[in-house]
């Protein structure tokens, strides 16, 4: 059995997860401070990838990075071609999983007692210190749960990935695209093995999320 | 030592217009919940920005809308004790207090200041606890320690005793007063309790619906609250509409009698008030024929509800508080009020 799809899926999910961790948290932090109207609009835009079919996300990504599109042509000048590379799948996974991080972080920040931040400011603590040493630790469980969910969603990404990265064994193949490809070519036994691998990873992820949520409940009681 | 506050802020449906001045000592902001006293405190600390106005502390402008000055809370250096104490739940007592000392670079001085604060606030043995493991009184002391070690120029205390069991409040008030006695700067305490304001504050500002109604030495404000809301907030139970008759006479329509207050009656009189303790059966001046309609027993006092003879049905009862030792078995049919105890309320 060739383990490349597992390795590829893990690295795509890991990179996407790190990128989404920071962008999702900062989006959540700054969107929460905006005036209500702008907040509502931005919230819709930032959450859309979660409810859109992934193929629609893939369509937009191809509009942006396609080799015949303006931005794609611009990138080609520097010798950069995005579609059909393993790392193009990072974009697909990141965009699709971004709303999960954004929304869980926002939920955690909304439950945060702003008096704590205000108290820190009157004590002369810098805003950066307050963010990393008070806000983030207090919201720790919610943010961890969001990160795990993001990783899981990135790992399972299929639709947008298959559109922008395609399926090339040993290059762009991920677990999900491999399962489809194996099924399509009547290799049911191998497809089943990958399904089991995927099930195992997802079950572990959900266990972790549940544990974190239990801990959060225990703390607020 | 001085603090000048003259600010306005629109909260959409609620307009805050806070204006008062202090010169050292403790000032109480007395008002019902939602009157704008906490918002005023937040604006002084800089965690909220007013729409316009001016805040000057010890000659330093913290905020001035015309000069576009708006110092950050970090630059203001004003200590703020939050109603909930706002201890960082992820940190131990020690770490919480040390956040107030982050700007102190000298490790020896830092340690000395920390040890002094632990000793001063009797926190020995609690250093490694988390805020969730502290009682209300302990949490308050930790928050005070954290605030005081940051060497603030002024102190703002938002309802410092609201999270404390009532039977502990008196002692904690005494402790807090002793602790703050040495503090050189201005202190503002927000409270809705007239007792707390009276115990702790040399001067008070009475707030209602976003405005400062009365402002001055505490005893003076209690003796002459000037407005109906001020009378209520300082605990006056009996407030009735009244009209000016002449400079020394007012008419109370609900009771159908003339009263003669000690203060000269000014134009614009709308109501009068008598505190529940100040009715006296033996007082011959300002007599009022009454009958008893109910009694309520308190541990050390009677609260007796009376009605004046001929009092209109929709008019509220008269409340009389009297010590248990002197409650007569037969209710008096006549109560009097000393002229200096008749409060006059204007528009």
Which uninterrupted H or E stretch holds B168? helix B166-180
Annotate B231-249 with b (16+ C-beta within 10 A) or e (fewer): bbbbbbbbbbebebeeeee
C-alpha dist (Å) from residue B337 to A118, A153, B273, B310: 49, 78, 11, 19
Q: Are residues B96 and B171 in the same domain?
A: yes
Q: Are residues B248 and B219 in the same domain?
A: no
* Domain C-terminal end among B225, B259, B278: B225
Q: Where are the alpha helices (DSSP H) in chain A?
A: 4-31, 36-51, 54-65, 70-76, 88-111, 114-122, 127-130, 136-138, 140-156, 159-164, 175-184, 188-220
Q: For residue A220, is pLDDT > 70?
A: no
Contact of B207 with B35, CB cutoff 8 Å:
yes
Q: Are residues B123 and B211 in the same domain?
A: yes
Mutate to test the interface with B, among A36, A123, A125 (most CBs of B within 10 A): A123
Q: Are residues B219 and B245 in the same domain?
A: no
B164 token code pair: 């404390």
Q: Are residues B207 and B257 in the same domain?
A: no
Q: Are residues B195 and B250 in the same domain?
A: no
Question: Whole domain around residue B37: which residue ranges?
Answer: 3-225
| Chain B contact set for A137 (CB, 8 A) | 90
Q: Using 50, 70 and 90 to split pLDDT, how confident is the model at A217?
A: low
Q: Are residues B153 and B32 in the same domain?
A: yes
pTM for the full predicted model: 0.84
CATH code at A173? Answer: 1.10.3720.10
Note whether residue B183 is domain-resident.
Answer: yes
Q: Are residues B39 and B162 in the same domain?
A: yes
Q: Using 50, 70 and 90 to split pLDDT, how confident is the model at A218?
A: low
CA atoms within 13 A on the CB side of A215: 14
Q: Using 50, 70 and 90 to split pLDDT, how confident is the model at A219?
A: low
B146 reaches A (C-beta below 8 A): yes
Q: Are residues B139 and B161 in the same domain?
A: yes
Size of the A and B interface in Cβ pairs below 8 Å: 60
Q: Are residues B163 and B82 in the same domain?
A: yes
Question: Whole domain around residue A43: which residue ranges?
Answer: 4-220
Domains held by chain B: number: 2
| Chain A contact set for B82 (CB, 8 A) | 115, 118-119
Q: Based on DSSP, count helices (H) and strands (E) in chain B, helices before strands.
A: 9, 22
Note whether residue B165 is domain-resident.
Answer: yes
Residue B283 neighbours by CB under 8 Å, 6+ apart: B335, B336, B337, B338
Contact A125 B80 (CB under 8 A): no
**Tokens 């007395």 belong to residue:** B30
Note whether residue B205 is domain-resident.
Answer: yes
Q: How much is the ipTM here? A: 0.86
To the nearest whole angstrom, how far is the Cα of A31 from the nearest Cα of chain B?
19
Ordered per-residue pLDDT tens for chain B, 347 residues: 899 999 999 998 899 999 999 999 999 999 988 899 999 999 999 999 999 999 999 999 999 999 999 999 999 999 999 999 999 999 999 999 999 999 889 999 999 999 999 999 999 999 999 999 999 999 999 999 999 999 999 999 999 998 888 888 888 899 999 999 989 999 999 999 999 999 899 999 999 999 999 999 999 999 999 999 999 999 999 999 999 999 999 999 999 999 999 999 999 999 999 999 999 998 899 999 999 999 898 988 999 999 999 898 899 999 999 988 777 778 889 999 999 999 999 98
The end-to-end CA distance of chain A, in Å, is 48
Note whether residue B180 is domain-resident.
Answer: yes
Contact of B45 with B78, CB cutoff 8 Å:
yes
Residue B300 neighbours by CB under 8 Å, 6+ apart: B323, B324
Write out pLDDT tens, residues A95-134: 999 999 999 999 999 899 999 999 999 999 999 999 999 9
CB-closest option in A119, A121, A125 to B102: A125
Note whether residue B230 is domain-resident.
Answer: no
| Chain A contact set for B102 (CB, 8 A) | 123-125, 129
Domains held by chain A: number: 1
Contact of B40 with B215, CB cutoff 8 Å:
no
């Amino acid at each position: 059995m060739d383990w490349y799809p597992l390795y590829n899926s893990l690295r795509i999910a890991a990179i996407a997860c790190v990128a989404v961790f920071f962008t999702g948290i900062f989006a959540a932090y700054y969107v929460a401070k905006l005036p209500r109207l702008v907040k509502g609009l931005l919230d819709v835009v930032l959450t859309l990838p979660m409810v859109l079919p992934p193929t629609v996300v893939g369509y937009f990504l191809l509009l942006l990075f396609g080799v015949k599109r303006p931005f794609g042509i611009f990138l080609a000048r520097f010798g950069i071609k995005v579609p059909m590379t393993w790392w193009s799948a990072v974009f697909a996974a990141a965009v699709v999983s971004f709303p999960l991080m954004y929304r869980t972080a926002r939920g955690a920040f909304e439950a945060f007692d702003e008096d704590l931040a205000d108290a820190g400011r009157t004590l002369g603590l810098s805003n950066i210190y307050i963010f990393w040493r008070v806000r983030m630790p207090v919201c720790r469980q919610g943010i961890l749960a969001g990160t795990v969910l993001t990783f899981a969603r990135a790992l399972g990404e299929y639709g947008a990935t298959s559109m922008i990265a395609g399926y090339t064994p040993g290059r762009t193949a991920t677990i999900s695209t491999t399962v489809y490809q194996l099924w399509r070519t009547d290799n049911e036994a191998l497809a089943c093995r990958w399904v089991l691998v995927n099930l195992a990873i997802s079950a572990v992820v959900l266990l972790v999320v549940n544990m974190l949520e239990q801990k959060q409940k225990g703390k607020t009681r | 030592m001085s603090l000048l506050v003259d600010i306005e802020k629109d909260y959409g449906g609620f307009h805050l217009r806070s204006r008062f001045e202090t010169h050292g000592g403790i000032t109480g902001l007395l008002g019902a919940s939602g009157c704008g006293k906490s918002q005023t405190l937040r604006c002084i600390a800089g965690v909220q920005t007013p729409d316009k106005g001016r805040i000057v502390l010890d000659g330093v402008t913290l905020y001035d809308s015309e000069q576009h000055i708006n110092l950050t809370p970090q630059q203001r250096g004003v200590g703020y004790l939050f109603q909930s104490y706002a201890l960082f739940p992820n940190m131990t007592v020690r770490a919480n207090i040390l956040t107030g000392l982050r700007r102190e670079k000298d490790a020896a001085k830092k340690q000395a200041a920390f040890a002094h604060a632990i000793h001063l606030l009797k926190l020995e043995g609690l250093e490694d606890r988390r805020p969730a493991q502290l009682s209300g009184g302990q949490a308050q002391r930790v928050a005070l320690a954290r605030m005081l070690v940051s060497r603030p120029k002024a102190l703002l205390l938002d309802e410092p005793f609201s999270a404390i069991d009532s039977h502990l409040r008196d002692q904690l008030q005494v402790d807090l007063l002793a602790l703050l006695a040495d503090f050189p700067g201005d202190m503002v305490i927000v409270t809705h309790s007239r007792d707390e304001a009276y115990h702790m504050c040399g001067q008070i500002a009475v707030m209602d619906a976003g405005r400062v109604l009365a402002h001055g030495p505490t005893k003076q404000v209690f003796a002459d609250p000037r407005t109906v809301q001020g009378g209520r907030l300082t605990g006056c139970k009996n407030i009735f509409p009244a009209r000016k008759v002449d400079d020394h006479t007012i008419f109370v329509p609900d009771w159908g009698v003339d009263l003669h207050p000690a203060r000269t009656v000014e134009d614009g009189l709308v109501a009068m008030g008598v505190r529940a303790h100040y009715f006296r059966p033996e007082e011959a001046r300002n007599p009022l024929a009454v009958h008893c309609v109910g009694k309520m027993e308190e541990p050390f006092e009677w609260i007796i509800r009376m009605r004046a003879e001929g009092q209109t049905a929709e008019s509220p009862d008269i409340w009389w508080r009297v010590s248990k030792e002197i409650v007569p078995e037969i209710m008096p049919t006549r109560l009097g009020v000393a002229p200096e105890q008749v409060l006059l309320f204007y528009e």
